[in-house]
Amino acid sequence: MNEVVKTILKRRSTRSFTPDQLTEEELSVLLETARFAPSGMNRQPWHFTVVQNPETLHRINEACRQVLLGSGVKAMEDRAKGNDFSICYKAPTLILVAVDEQVHTGRYDGAVALENMFLAAESMGLGSCWIHAVSLIFNGGANEALRKELQIPAGYAPIGSGAFGRKAAEAQAAPRKENTITILK
Ligand SMILES: Cc1cc2nc3c(=O)[nH]c(=O)nc-3n(C[C@H](O)[C@H](O)[C@H](O)COP(=O)(O)O)c2cc1C
């Protein structure tokens, strides 16, 4: 098995991070792998906002708390009520991906860019996790000031975000479904 395949199979969603920040070199490699992701007609309709500032991370966390509290899902509401609530599991870096709303492949393009960063993170011994709620905090024009602070370009919609940092613990492999493949020969 080659190293790329090993990395893909070894990557897990990390939900426990140490406070240690990524190095500038690590961050720059992650972003470069995102920029080199495939995109429909090579439009590269993405924008990446890297958040490492603790106050901004706190504002994002509180906005996500509101989303979870209004989700109608008891487990999410209970999680959001906790004093220690951290939507990104206290990861020191959050990368928000927003895509041009006019580009019909934008959502897929943004997702593969995120996955490139997750795999690159694993290959560098870092942890990562897709954090969905961050892409919901601007729905209906909410949190406009925060949107400005994150410098999301006009006409771009957040589609997802990734938490990145050093793993505080190794995650267990989540079970995989059987019978999801059809091979026609
Ligand atoms: C679109 C998408 C949204 C996700 N949102 C979250 C999330 O908000 N919080 C979280 O902890 N994990 C999130 N995950 C991670 C999944 O829960 C995880 O990938 C899945 O359970 C399989 O585990 P693994 O990544 O360790 O293989 C998300 C994954 C995807 C692809």
174 φ/ψ angles, rounded to the nearest 5 degrees:
-75, 145
- Token digits for 85? 């609530």
Q: What spacing in Å lies between the alpha carbon of 13 and ligand 1's midpoint?
A: 6
Give the contacts of 9 (CB within 8 A, at least 6 positions apart). 1
Specify if 185 maps to a domain. Answer: no
CATH number of the domain bearing residue 55: 3.40.109.10
Pocket of ligand 1 (CB under 6 A): 12-13, 15, 129-133, 171, 174
For 82-102, what is the mean pLDDT?
97
Query: Quick one: 19 exposed, middle or buried, by C-beta within 10 A (0-12, 13-18, 19+)?
Result: exposed
104 within some domain: yes
Q: For 111-117, what is the mean pLDDT?
A: 98
Q: Is 170 within the bounds of a domain?
A: no
Mutate which of 122, 129, 137, 159 for ligand 1 pocket (most atoms within 8 A of beta carbon): 129
For residue 175, tell me if it sits in a domain: no
- Return the residue whose CA atom lies nearest to atom 18 of ligand 1: 13
Domain region containing 135? 3-165
Domain presence at residue 176: no
Domain count across the chain: 1
Instruction: Report CA(185)–ligand 1 centroid distance (Å).
Output: 33
Mean pLDDT across the chain: 97
According to the model, what pLDDT value does residue 153 have? 97
Which of the four pLDDT bands, split at 50, 70 and 90, describes residue 145?
very high
In a domain? residue 70: yes
* pLDDT tens figures, 13-22: 999 999 999 9
Give 17-74 pLDDT, tens digit per residue: 999 999 999 999 999 999 999 999 999 999 999 999 999 999 999 999 999 999 999 9
Give the confidence band of 92 by pLDDT, cuts at 50, 70, 90. very high
Q: ∠ CA(70), CA(150), CA(118), 5° rounding?
A: 80
pLDDT band for 110, please (50, 70, 90 cuts).
very high
